[in-house]
Amino acid sequence: MPDSDPHDFFEDRPTLWPHTAPERLLPSQVEQRLLRAMERVAADGPYAVALCEEAIALARAGGDDGETVRTLFRAATLVLQARRPDRAYVLCLEAQQAFERRDDRWRATRILLLRGQCWLEVGEHERAMTLIAEATERFRLMDHRADLARCQAAMAMAHRLGGDLDSAIAMAAHAVGTPGAPNDHHLDISLRHNEALMRLERGRQLAQQGDVQGAQAEYARASAVLPDARHIESPRSQPDGGQVLQNIAQVATAIGDDATVLLALRRLADWARRRGSRLERGAVWLQMAELQRARHRSRAAVACARAAVRHLVTLPNEPRLVTARLLLADLLEDQGDYPGAYEAYAEGSRVAAEQQREAIALRAEMLALDRDAEQVLRSTEQTLAYAQRLSNVGHLVASINHELNQPMASIRLVAETALELIDSGETAEVLASMRSMLKLSTRLTDLTAQLAAFPARSTAQVQQLSLRQAVLEALGMLRSRLGQTPCEIVIGFDDALAHGFEGQLVRVIANLVNNALDVLEPVPARRIEFGCVADGEFIVLSVADNGPGLAPAVLERLFQPFFSTKAAGRGLGLGLALSRDVMREMGGDLLARNGSGGGAVFDVRLPLEDPTTVPGTL
């Protein structure tokens, strides 16, 4: 990962939320421990975790919340590298809540990605996909290509873990081709390594199926995407370089390129020596054992396999320990040493069972953490949404003054004119004036309704609801408006059930349709289409129009309170901000994008199940 430079953690990144430019330095005692942990994480994971805990304790003792949360951010990354996903996840949850409170969109989203990687570490690909998908969408809206590529690489790993190797390869290749991402040389190497890893696995699958030609073609693609082993730099600048070198050696072994195998292994051995990494030393010996076996040098292969076990046995949770023991068992069996082979096989099976039990225990622990912490996080987000509304009171008062004074002044003028017309006996003109006052008073009613909703907190109970019925009720509320602005309405789904606040959902849909009608006024053939698709733990109701779509600058600010593209006097710019807050209170979200065929699309995300009873929904 290219995050080894501590200053990379403090760069000011594009954001969708207002935020203060972060401080760049942590206190020296905290910084020293984090740097030391970074240096030792490969060689001694427990020691690196202990250093991170010391850094966190020192940051907390300093009393600066900003320093504490940035320490949590960096420590979580290092603790995950030390193979402690459970502890890393706890740090992530605390850090994410703090970043949400501080309105730091970029770091909050990086933590979201890190949470997904924690789930990958314990084999929970579905939960990982949910978190990574959310992080991907956020980074896409921020237009931050490097982090978007990281998300795509992580999603590829999730697909691989779920057994969908085709999607994994496609996603990994897409990450490599993400515009802007290769500008980071070290990130580019990591992304290419990720794609090559998927293609190597596909090649092995094809070889097992007897498709030798297909396997060799896949190995060639893996080799083509990998960097030259000589371009892998120091551990500090390319922390995952050891894994990249292992991958280069494995691919070269598969295609029979002994020169590249030896070059990669020499580089990896030097790498392991400089890092003091037992894992990478074990990986070198394991790769050497496989190479010697391919050369039919059985004694040398056994010696290398024993050396691999000797280094890896100190890392009981390392999957390659099982690989090394089982390889040793096969080699000893080939030599006729059946007792030795049985002992190695039995020990490998025992370690595999222990690793599986440990992984199950970790998953159970993290699921419990997730359930409790997500409920707290949701409650915090609701409180913050309420506080954010109240924090805009000054702006609100100014907007009220402008929005109410204009129609009130018009009503006064029309009323005075009507009195004069009555005295003159001009009945038709008086009637027109009355209609004008009625229209202006309707605008005032709409404005006061928005103001009433602005500070209110929801007390409604989440319930199962019909999305089709909600759409029909919203359209019924707008019957008069639809009569004034004729529009083709298409409901492109039969029905779907979700959980939420029925009355508030109807108002959200009505607001989206009303906004669409405003945009479509100059369009001759107006069309609004409703769609519905499942997305993991969510159901997504889409509201699409055939208008001009959303400009990038508008898309970025669309959900900010008081932002509006309408003419003065046609609203406070609160509708979408309030609608998104309401959806988040339901455990869902409201997102905006441009449709592939033009026009704007608003995605109303709702949980399939009650978010207050199902762990891990957000």
> What is residue 98's predicted lDDT score, i.e. its pLDDT?
83
> What is residue 489's predicted lDDT score, i.e. its pLDDT?
92
- The amino acid present at 122, given as its one-letter code, is V
> 327 near 302, Cβ under 8 Å?
no
Instruction: For tokens 């199940």, name the residue.
Output: 609
444 and 476, same structural domain? no
> 594 near 601, Cβ under 8 Å?
yes
> What is the separation of C-alpha 13 from the centre of its chain, rounded to a whole number of angstroms?
16
C-alpha span between 41 and 161 (Å, rounded): 25
591 and 547, same structural domain? yes
**Number of domains into which the chain is organized:** 3
Q: How many residues make up the chain in this entry?
A: 618
> What is residue 17's predicted lDDT score, i.e. its pLDDT?
41
The upper half-sphere exposure of residue 611, i.e. CA atoms within 13 Å in the direction of its Cβ, equals 28
Full residue range of the structural domain in which residue 147 is found: 1-180
Residue 18 lies in a domain: yes
> What is residue 326's predicted lDDT score, i.e. its pLDDT?
92
C-alpha span between 156 and 137 (Å, rounded): 15
Nearest to 384 by CA among 609, 123, 598, 97: 97
Nearest to 146 by CA among 191, 92, 88: 191
507 and 449, same structural domain? no
Instruction: For tokens 């017309």, name the residue.
Output: 421
| Beta bridge pairs of residue 545 | 528
> What is residue 574's predicted lDDT score, i.e. its pLDDT?
63
Residue 474's alpha-carbon distances to 467, 477, 480, 507, 517, in angstroms, are 11, 5, 12, 7, 13
φ and ψ at residue 465, rounded to 5 degrees:
-145, 160
* 3 state DSSP class of 209: coil
Residue 316 lies in a domain: no
167 and 69, same structural domain? yes
C-alpha span between 14 and 317 (Å, rounded): 38
Q: Spell 480-498 as b/e; 16+ CB within 10 A means b.
A: eebeebebeeebeeeebeb
500 and 441, same structural domain? no
> What is residue 511's predicted lDDT score, i.e. its pLDDT?
85
> What is residue 471's predicted lDDT score, i.e. its pLDDT?
93
**Domain end position, chosen among 163, 180, 197:** 180
pLDDT in tens, 244-302: 888 888 898 888 888 888 888 888 777 777 767 777 788 888 888 887 887 788 898 89
Tell me the pTM.
0.58
473 and 410, same structural domain? no
- The amino acid present at 207, given as its one-letter code, is A
pLDDT, mean of each 10-residue run, the chain (618 residues): 36 40 72 90 86 94 88 93 89 84 83 92 88 89 86 93 92 82 73 91 92 92 88 64 83 87 82 74 83 84 90 82 91 91 91 85 76 65 57 52 61 73 75 71 62 51 86 83 86 89 85 89 91 90 92 76 55 71 86 90 86 39
* 3 state DSSP class of 601: strand
Residue 529's alpha-carbon distances to 73, 493, 513, 547, 599, in angstroms, are 42, 10, 10, 12, 11
417 and 504, same structural domain? no
C-alpha span between 424 and 420 (Å, rounded): 6
Residue 500 tokens read as: 């939420």
C-alpha span between 159 and 126 (Å, rounded): 9
Give CA torsion, residues 494, 500, 504, 507, to 10 deg: -20
C-alpha span between 531 and 533 (Å, rounded): 7
CATH number of 146's domain: 1.25.40.10
> 328 near 309, Cβ under 8 Å?
yes
137 and 57, same structural domain? yes
Contacts for 412 with CB less than 8 Å, ≥ 6 apart: none
> What is residue 605's predicted lDDT score, i.e. its pLDDT?
94
Residue 586 lies in a domain: yes
Q: Radius of gyration of the chain from Cα atoms?
A: 30
Nearest to 440 by CA among 565, 564, 569: 569
